[in-house]
Amino acid sequence: MPNVILISHTPMPEHTVASAAKLCYSSSDIKDLRENLTDEKAAAFVEMLAEIGHESPIEHASFTFGIEGVSRAFLAQITRHRMASYSVKSQRYVNESSFEFVTPPEIAGDAEALRLYKEAMEDDCKKYNQIADILKKKHKKTFLSEGKDEKTAARMAEKKAIEDARFVLPNACETKMIVTMNARSLYNFFRHRCCNRAQWEIQEVADKMLALVTAVAPELFKKAGPPCVVGPCPEGKMSCGKAKEVKQRYEEMRKNG
pLDDT at 24: 74
Quickly count: other Cβ atoms within 10 Å of residue 247's Cβ: 15
Residue 52 has what pLDDT?
75
Active-site choice (72, 184, 193, 197): 193
Active site residue 193: yes
Mean pLDDT by 10 residues, the chain (257 residues): 96 89 72 75 80 83 97 96 95 95 97 98 98 98 96 96 97 97 96 95 97 94 91 89 90 80
**Predicted TM-score of the model (pTM):** 0.91
Report pLDDT for 140.
97
Query: How high is the pLDDT of residue 257?
Result: 66
Query: What's the pLDDT at 18?
Result: 85
Q: Tell me, what's the pLDDT at 86?
A: 97
